[in-house]
Amino acid sequence: MTEGGDWQRDVLRELADTPAAPASTSPPMPPAPVDPRLPSPPPQPASPTRPVPRGTRDPRLPLTTPESVPTVDPRLAHALGRPQHGDSLTQRTGRSLRRLTTSAGQDVAEQTHLATELQRPVTTGRIIAVTSIRGGVGKSTVSALLGRTFNHYRHDPVLTLEADAALGTLPVRMGAESVRWSCADLAQILTPAMQLTDVTGYLVPVADGGWLLPAGQGRVGAPMDVRTYRTVTLALRRYFAVTVVDCESLPGDVARTAMDTAHARVVVAPMTAEGVNGTRQVLNWLAQLPHAALASTAVALSASSPDTTLDEKTAAAHLREAGVAVVSLPYDRHLAQGGPIHTVMLGQATRDAAVRLAAEAMHRAVRVR
């Protein structure tokens, strides 16, 4: 792989020269050479094979293919209901009418600016870590929105990576029906000799494009530690222009490491007084990190309830005071439903917020360091 700006061309050429990865969520296992002295591994389900990347692993170690596990129990999957649109029919109709009657000049300039930020060329893969002060405030939702947005705007490979062992929801939000290989598996498998096409064989292809690497198979106690995180992110940034990391909540060790080592950070703050207050404490902690961590941080102020009463402008101003960019993510019926995120079903304000947040994060990921 060449240095500097050419690495992306190499990666793209490699993709173009190779038939597209099968649109399956269960990538086949590269067959490991078998050492007759070792006990034979348990029988594997029949699956097509792909060539073993040369020099990828110690052939004396048995490699068992993890089973493919559905992200949602099939008995529940059909109970999900139909996806709701984030905007009501009245809102959608009103917007179409407004579009016909107002000048679009300013809109176009703004869209062009955002697209330029999102498409910024990178010389080495950028890592954008998403976390929050506590659980359940929208980290996985924001990560999924960012991953999809980057993928929509960029032509180079984008990865969304789950670094949260606590039965995370990222695979479901990204629309993965099943998962097989996890971060812990890849930490053992990845070697510098691997090509992008070898690596993507272990990832989940996302329906709209891009790739997903889950933290585990949705079981209690899945392994995810700082070492695994560092090994996997360091190895994968060779292949992906942007990696969005859905971290556990602070102050978990993996979240702290991710925040410390990422090129840009997104802190998700719930739109409540205590949520904003706690997030301000996180920002104060970031300010103490050695390498301009605050300057490369954006906050997503997320309203995951339609009943929030906190004044958005006051909350945003309180966070901006710390020296970060703040983007408000409105309450969205489609996001509130849970389940896979369908971009076309998002409210217009949600889509706009996702684009603005992704642009802020990318701007920081490229500019800083």
Ligand X SMILES: Nc1ncnc2c1ncn2[C@@H]1O[C@H](COP(=O)(O)OP(=O)(O)OP(=O)(O)O)[C@@H](O)[C@H]1O
Chain residues that interact with Mg ion, rule: CB under 5 A: 139-140, 168
- Give the pairing of strands 126-132 and 242-247: parallel
Q: Does 140 bind ligand X (CB under 6 A)?
A: yes
Q: Which of the ranges 25-33, 36-44, 203-211, 325-333 carries the binding residues for ligand X, by CB under 6 A?
A: 325-333
Q: Does 71 bind ligand X (CB under 6 A)?
A: no
- Nearest distance in Å: CB 69, ligand X: 18
Query: What would the DSSP string read from start to end of 290-328?
Result: SS-TGGGEEEEEE--STT--S-HHHHHHHHHTTT-EEEE
Which one, 160 or 304, has the nearer CB to ligand X? 304
Q: Does 53 bind ligand X (CB under 6 A)?
A: no
Q: Which of the ranges 41-49, 90-98, 105-113, 327-335 carries the binding residues for ligand X, by CB under 6 A?
A: 327-335
Question: Which of 164, 177, 185, 198 touches ligand X by CB under 6 A?
Answer: 164
Which residues is 266 bridged to in the sheet?
130, 298
154, 200 Cβ separation under 8 angstroms: no
Dihedral (Cα; 159, 290, 358, 324), 10-degree rounding: 160
- Nearest distance in Å: CB 317, Mg ion: 27
Site for ligand X in 249-278 (CB under 6 A): 249
345, 82 Cβ separation under 8 angstroms: no
Which residues is 128 bridged to in the sheet?
244, 264
- Nearest distance in Å: CB 302, Mg ion: 12
Q: Which of the ranges 198-206, 224-232, 280-288, 332-340 carries the binding residues for ligand X, by CB under 6 A?
A: 332-340
Q: Does 351 bind ligand X (CB under 6 A)?
A: no
Q: Does 171 bind ligand X (CB under 6 A)?
A: no
Q: Does 331 bind ligand X (CB under 6 A)?
A: yes
Q: Per-residue contact track with ligand X, 276 to 315, x per CB under 6 A?
A: --------------------------xxx-----------
Q: Which of 201, 218, 213 is nearest to 127 (CA)?
A: 213
Q: Which of 183, 171, 176, 154 is nearest to 242 (CA)?
A: 154
- Nearest distance in Å: CB 138, ligand X: 4
Q: Does 223 bind ligand X (CB under 6 A)?
A: no
E strands within the chain?
69-70, 126-132, 158-163, 178-179, 204-205, 211-213, 242-247, 264-270, 297-302, 325-329
> CA-based diameter of the chain, in Å?
77
Question: Which of 332, 346, 357, 360 touches ligand X by CB under 6 A?
Answer: 332
Q: How many Å apart are CA 15 and CA 153, to the nearest integer?
A: 18
- Phi/psi at 309 (5° precision): -115, -5
Which one, 154 or 265, has the nearer CB to Mg ion? 265
Which one, 267 or 322, has the nearer CB to Mg ion? 267
